[in-house]
């Protein structure tokens, strides 16, 4: 009955069009009423405690870093460097998009920020070069999925806090899977454009490539600083977010001199608005998470799925299918916050490595950002690129299918995730 009250109140609230954060609060109140422990003080206390977390300080700073990089010229220089490297290949602008997405992912950790920057910079160029606009927009949207996987990642921070998993290990474990997803996009783009008769730009000279590298050098230094610092234990993921924001601010304003003092308010306000949405979601979800534990919902779900506990791979397939379905209707952050406290006891009971599960869970949720009908990244690409939603949806389909195939390949062969991860954080 408790499961019915939990799901029924949550889904009913969402069906009425109530924002997800408030739906989570309503769900929490319904659970309290059902358990005869209704107390407004408990609600307020859990909301405050939900946002009172040192690791979650990484969220606003990574958001700020992403805004600074887009406004201060770091993103544009990364795209220019990728263009100098692979722009001359047939279909080169697509490869530029994939390469630039991987580099940007190592800077901001936000799918929305990366997708907005790539759409504004590359979509007009791809259309002008003769590529199909829907396919180009679909590729850019699919590349945005890499943002929350290659560290630093806001998704890993939220999952690490909600699931009690090492954020540093999650960061390091996300590197190789992110590269695998990028490789899948690279092969898919090659297959789709192999018969296009488009003249690629001329190959850049070594001098031009070197000049592009020097121009982007400061931006390219940031992911190296973050990863080496995390690996050597110089700073925590939260401190890494501060380093990223301060470094990006210094480079954009002092080195590149593209971020003016008059723009700072606008940049900080944009980061603060996005952060407020995420943090309110986290705070509201912690109410439900606490009540889920009190109501022993995880134990009930573990008992329901007891037959699958003896087969971790089969259980992972079942969980991934569940998250795929949820991802079509719910954004990444609330999905993490709602499902993590429910699934983690099940994962631990089956003997699945929590770091491996976290990586797979975030990958699935990230792909959910381009899964219609909600698809946050699809909406961003459609808005920035002035495209119809159904055009972007049609364009992203082949890339999304390949990303799901790569994900299930990692479910079938967990060593693809864990062997490289253990080499990095050993």
pLDDT score recorded for residue 16: 79
What the block records as the tokens of 281 is 């979601």
CA separation for the pair 240, 328 (Å, rounded): 32
Judge contact between 267 and 71, C-beta under 8 A: yes
- Looking at every residue in the chain, the average pLDDT score rounds to 82
> For residue 188, what are the CA distances in angstroms to 51, 94, 160, 396?
41, 10, 32, 11
Give the Å distances, CA to CA, from 181 to 16, 95, 177, 404. Answer: 36, 13, 6, 9
**The pLDDT value given to residue 293:** 66
Nearest CA-CA partner of 171 in 152, 158, 155, 154: 152
3-state helix, strand and coil shares in percent for the chain, rounded to the nearest 5: 80, 0, 20
Please return the burial class of 253, using the count of CB atoms within 10 Å of its CB with bins 0-12, 13-18 and 19+: middle
pLDDT of res. 183: 93
Q: What is the pLDDT of residue 398?
A: 93
Contacts 24+ apart (CB under 8 A), 302-311: 302/345, 302/346, 302/349, 305/346, 308/350, 309/346, 309/349, 309/350
Distance CA 244, CA 67 (A): 11
- With tokens 């209704």, the residue in question is 38
How far is the C-alpha of 116 from the C-alpha of 111, rounded, in Å?
9
Note whether 128 and 170 are within 8 A (CB): no
45: phi > 0 → left, psi -120 to 50 → alpha, else beta; which? alpha
CA gap 227, 152 in Å, rounded: 8
Q: Quote the pTM value.
A: 0.82
* Domain boundaries defined on the chain: 1-38, 53-425
How far is it, in rounded angstroms, from Cα 394 to Cα 50?
Answer: 39
d(CA 249, CA 253): 6
Regions of the chain with pLDDT less than 50: none
Alpha helices in 259-311 (DSSP H): 264-294, 297-304
- Give the pair of three-digit tokens for residue 177: 């899977």
Q: Calculate the CA 202 to chain-centre distance.
A: 34
| pLDDT (0 to 100) of residue 103 | 83
pLDDT at 300: 65
3-state secondary structure of 260: coil
Phi first, then psi, for residue 258 (nearest 5°) are -100, -20
Contact 146, 181 (CB under 8 A): yes
């Amino acid at each position: 009955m408790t499961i019915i009250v939990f799901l029924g109140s949550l889904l009913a609230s969402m069906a009425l069009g109530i924002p997800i954060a408030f739906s989570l609060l309503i769900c929490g109140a319904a659970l309290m009423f059902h358990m005869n422990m209704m107390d407004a003080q408990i609600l307020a206390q859990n909301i405050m405690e939900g946002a009172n977390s040192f690791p979650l300080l990484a969220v606003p700073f990574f958001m700020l870093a992403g805004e600074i990089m887009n406004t201060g010229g770091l993103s544009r220089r990364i795209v220019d460097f990728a263009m100098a490297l692979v722009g001359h290949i047939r279909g080169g602008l697509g490869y530029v998009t994939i390469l630039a997405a991987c580099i940007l992912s190592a800077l901001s950790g936000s799918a929305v920020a990366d997708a907005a920057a790539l759409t504004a910079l590359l979509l007009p160029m791809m259309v002008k070069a003769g590529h199909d606009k829907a396919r180009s927009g679909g590729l850019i949207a699919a590349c945005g999925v890499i943002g929350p996987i290659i560290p630093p990642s806001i998704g890993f921070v939220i999952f690490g806090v909600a699931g009690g998993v090492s954020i540093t290990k999650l960061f390091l474990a996300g590197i190789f899977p992110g590269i695998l997803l990028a490789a899948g996009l690279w092969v898919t783009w090659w297959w789709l454009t192999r018969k296009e008769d488009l003249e690629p730009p001329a190959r850049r000279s070594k001098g031009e490539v070197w000049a592009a590298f020097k121009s982007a050098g400061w931006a390219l230094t940031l992911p190296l600083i973050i990863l080496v610092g995390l690996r050597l234990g110089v700073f925590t993921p939260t401190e890494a977010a501060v380093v990223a924001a301060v470094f990006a601010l210094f480079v954009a304003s002092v080195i590149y001199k593209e971020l003016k003092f008059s723009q700072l308010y606008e940049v900080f306000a944009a980061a603060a608005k996005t952060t407020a949405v995420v943090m309110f979601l986290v705070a509201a979800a912690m109410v439900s998470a606490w009540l889920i534990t009190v109501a022993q919902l995880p134990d009930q779900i573990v008992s329901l799925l007891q037959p699958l506990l003896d087969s971790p791979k089969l259980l992972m397939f079942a969980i991934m299918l569940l998250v795929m379905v949820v991802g079509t209707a719910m954004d990444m952050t609330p999905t993490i916050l709602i499902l993590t406290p429910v699934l983690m006891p099940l994962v631990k009971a089956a003997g699945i490595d929590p770091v491996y599960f976290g990586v797979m869970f975030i990958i699935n949720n990230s792909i959910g950002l381009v899964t219609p009908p909600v698809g946050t990244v699809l909406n961003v690409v459609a808005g920035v690129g002035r495209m119809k939603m159904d055009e972007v949806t049609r364009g992203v389909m082949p890339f999304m299918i390949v990303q799901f195939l790569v994900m299930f390949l990692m479910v079938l062969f967990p060593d693809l995730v864990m062997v490289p991860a253990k080499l990095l954080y050993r």
